[in-house]
Amino acid sequence: MIKSIFTNSFGILFSRILGFIRDMLQASILGANIYTDIFIVAFKLPNLFRRIFAEGAFTQSFLPSFTASKQKRIFSASIFRKFALFLLFFSLLVTLFSNFFTRIIASGFSSDIIQEAAPLVAINFYYLLLIFTVTFLASLLQYKNHFATTAFSTALLNIALIFALLYSGDMEKKTIIYHMSYAVVIGGIMQVIVHVIMIKRLHLDKFLLGGFAALKKKKSRVSEEIHSFNSKFIASTLGSSTAQISAFLDGWLASFLLSGSISYLYYANRLFQFPLALFAIATSVAIFPKVARYLKNEDFDKAHRILHNSFWFLASILTVSTIVGMLFSKEIVWLLYERGEFSALDSHNTAFILSMYLVGLLPYGLSRIFSLWLYSTHRQKEAAKISAIALGANILLSLSLVYTYKAAGLALASSLSGFILLFLTIRAFGTQAFLDIIRSKKLVYLLVFAILFTIMIVSLKDYFGAYLQFSK
């Protein structure tokens, strides 16, 4: 398990470092203005589905169903064909009616800006079909306990975007965002290629081809399994996507605010997603196949042990991340983004929004591992209800706070809904079982450490701040 977590974390770290390089170039070349907002809006919908697909929903539904299936080849081929055809049709629909879909994504944009953004929305949307293919193949690799390819392949998207920015850096901003949009599709193609190569190396290609060959004659054998998967997938999509849909809604509401607000939320959320992906998502992806297998075999002690260890690991590392991130939010944003077209005012606004997002880092991270128990025990519908309640609370909080606190209010609303999500998830997991986990000396150690660590960081920050001021 530790090896799997490390592999996922290292792959995500490598990808996120490249992502920050990409963001630094993007901030320097484009800044925080209407052109950045246009690209973020264009990439918003496929990126939303990428996070939902790649970070939980599909795998959480597919793996338990695939494991239980008696006709694995036919089942997997049927699922892939259905999703691929639907997404291809949906992508063509977005291409034909790109203005309509752009207006839905960014209702606050003027007609002229929507006109400019619409072609980019159409181009970026084809990434969705590619990332579904990646996620499907990644699920099969996870079943074989292979995580490295998927963990490292996300870097390919960032590499493609970095090359696009370097190539078109001196061109007009409108041209730059077109190059970036094409780079998104190229990055998706490269991700598919590396997964296909690994599928072949693990001899899963014959497994898949055999499933497609037998699909026409034997599809009826998996009809009940497909129906069961469909209901689980819809519920898993709702249940595992609260943070992603919250960020999507933030961007939609921000389109009604001043130009640059979407960019501030984007850059701040990218930083917030770094520890969430590096630790919480990497851990949940690594432990999910084992937890699901133990629960299927009714080996509850081993499943609880994995959850117990994962909880304290995440509680510790996310607490440290929250403290460091909130105390050094200005310095982090300044270091990464403040150059070229990205001004000191942009840094100040982004840092404040980042602090609001970080309030919810711990609850969002911890809720992921407890929700695994629900998915592993086929309680997707219950997880979906919990997510719907948290999402509803987020919408109400966003509408309440956006008027007074603008973009920062949207980030704070998202964080507060994270606490609601965690509370409801723990209650569904079992309050007594949760109390058994935290009824430990580790809780006291963690609280004492958090207080001492905060005091130390604040003291160091004040000391170096005074030293630099004196040096001036």
In a domain, 468, yes or no: no
| Residue 469 lies inside a defined structural domain of this protein | no
Q: Tell whether 234 is covered by a domain.
A: yes
**Per residue in 426-442, pLDDT tens?**
999 999 999 999 999 99
How far CA 432 is from CA of 235, 300, 307, 438, 439, in Å, comes to 25, 15, 14, 10, 10
Q: Quote the domain boundaries for residue 153.
A: 2-461
List CB contacts of 185: < 8 A, sequence separation 6 or more: 123, 124, 126, 127, 130
406 inside domain: yes
- How many structural domains comprise the chain? 1
* Percent helix, percent strand, percent coil in the chain, to nearest 5: 90, 0, 10
Residue 51 is predicted with a pLDDT of: 64
pLDDT of residue 360: 95
Q: Record the pTM.
A: 0.76
Q: Has residue 129 been placed in a domain?
A: yes
The DSSP code sequence of 36-76 is HHHHHHHHHHHHHHHHHHHTTHHHHHHHHHHHH-SSHHHHH
Q: Quick check: is 209 in a domain?
A: yes
Question: Burial of 74 by CB count in 10 Å (0-12 exposed, 13-18 middle, 19+ buried)?
Answer: buried
pLDDT, tens digit (0-9, with 9 covering 90-100), for 76-95 = 888 899 889 988 998 999 99
**Cα 472 → chain centroid:** 42
Q: Which of 53-67, 132-146, 213-227 has the lowest mean pLDDT?
A: 53-67
In a domain, 449, yes or no: yes
Question: Residue 471 domain-assigned?
Answer: no
Task: Determine the average pLDDT of the residues in 146-160.
Answer: 88
Q: SS3 of 306, please?
A: helix
All residues at 6 or more sequence positions from 253 whose CB lies less than 8 Å from its CB, including other chains: 108, 398, 402, 410
